[in-house]
A and B are shown apart, each in its own frame.
Chain A
């Protein structure tokens, strides 16, 4: 395990700037998640670290050594692809053993067998070692793919949306397993996803990428509660943060220059209007079982928040709404402190 440092890296594909002047330092044993929409440059970042792409400018250090111009084989990284990761002509065992049998490593076959069996137990696929890799279910395939990365002890594990092709239940299971394995191994990991739950639950730090730029990086808590701008705020939280123009609701205490107010459930106090005055009207109550989504119309805007499953509010009720220390954003989209 080692630290990875990316400094001033830019990568273009033709006229498109995929990565723009990226600085990112991942500490030894740290689990960093890159979160962003499709096309933000997440996968390109991983491919640059792995050596599958060469940066147009900037440097990449792996374990203190300059790896910018090294071939993928010389970099000592392990990569889990989104799909297509298993060799269809090999058994599960041979797939797991493949990295250990590379000409660059040449482990004795006995050591290979022991290591493969250890990892197979770790990813819970040891009962299917002799199967053809094409005969596995989606979750098993992805576990083997993760296992194939884990058989080595590289400087860094790079994971490109490894769970995105799985169904929700499996994704939740594997998410936990992956986090457990990572902390057991003390592994350095850079994990790419567009799933905010994966990012929030697994990461030591989350980096938010947008259009090839690292917008903000920090702990999940900091990213959630102190987003740098509107883009970051909109990426996290379920239901999505409500962005309201300043002045729509009473907002005493807003700093000067506030253009937009961001309010999640915890930033709103909604009560049934007692006397004549009301700020909005309940438009809809969505029953999700353990909780409700409350839709409220405020002027031309619509708010969505969580409420208790046994909320007394019903469609058509007039309500008062108060902010509780919401997030303030300037006209440039940056958050005001």
Chain B
């Protein structure tokens, strides 16, 4: 669109573009302030983090990250002085607070749990969702509308409403505090979303593609794999992001059903604060690191996500 085409009916004018830009920038700033605050807090010292008025300019420190990854014990100054020289930056930092590092914290295993459970359940939900969506889209499924409604109805109530029965079931089945149990649970919650989103995408792929492939000597499954799947990547990527965001951020079930070996990061991060005073920088550090995978995943798939939000309206 060149500047010489004045008064186009469809192209936005320079003025409306400017106004839209201002609104978007303002909204982005408002949304990003809490994130910036958490990011800044993660580099403050504990005293700086609770200073009033809040410090905008401060001396950055890695104490929050040190505290996040370690457990520490309080010792007398005499004992600390009797130790040899500090073995690293974190060691030196905690000694200034009359503490020594006792060992690694549980943050890394909890973070790994989150990765396994979130990506595992996303994969399962998208895999099952793609196959069911294809089935609903292409075959005459008896009672298809009722089944689709039933699948959707699993999302009608807040998940926490079924927390107690699920808690009891999981205890009986031995799924409490296991990664498998959490993957099953998040898959069950996400699969309805996946079926509905993906059915829309697959409905838009003309069936002539598979028919042509089947005439050319492919079985239906091969035709699905070679012709439908490559064209559904946009929808699959968008669905995967939505599923991943849910599973990654889920707190209520994780707090209820995991306490030890399978605990995910969301219920773990708040517990950091209890270890030795109000350690806001460590909590902020945990939150900052927690945001990274979803940020990377979203940036990698941002094109597909944008198209996914418009539900294929701009496909052709």
Contacts and interface: CB of A to CB of B under 8 A. Distances in A.
A148 B216 CA distance: 9
B230 A79 contact: no
Contacts, number: 61
Interface stretch (B80-88, B116-124, B152-160, B204-212): B204-212
Contacts of B212: 79, 81, 85, 148
Interface string B227-245: 1001100000000000000
B221 to A, nearest CB: 10
A311 B285 CA distance: 94
B222 A72 contact: no
B217 interface: yes
Given A84-B206, A84-B209, A77 B231 contact: no
Interface of A: 50-52, 71-73, 75, 77-79, 81, 83-85, 87-89, 98-99, 102-105, 148, 152
Interface of B: 206, 208-209, 211-219, 222, 226-227, 230-231
B213 A52 contact: no
B171 to A, nearest CB: 48
Q: What is the predominant secondary structure among interface residues of chain A facing chain B?
A: loop
A88 B209 CA distance: 10
A245 B113 CA distance: 87
Given A52-B211, A98-B213, A73 B218 contact: yes
Contact of B218 (A51, A84, A103): A103
B218 A102 contact: yes
A104 B215 contact: no
B217 A105 contact: yes
B231 A73 contact: no
A102 B217 contact: yes
Rank and list the top 10 A-B pairs by shortest CB-CB distance, nearest first: A102-B217, A104-B217, A99-B216, A84-B206, A89-B230, A72-B214, A84-B208, A72-B215, A79-B215, A73-B217
Contacts of A77: 215
B207 to A, nearest CB: 9
Nearest to B233: A89
A105 B215 CA distance: 12
Contacts of A85: 208, 212
7 contacts: A71-B214, A73-B217, A73-B219, A81-B208, A85-B212, A87-B230, A104-B217
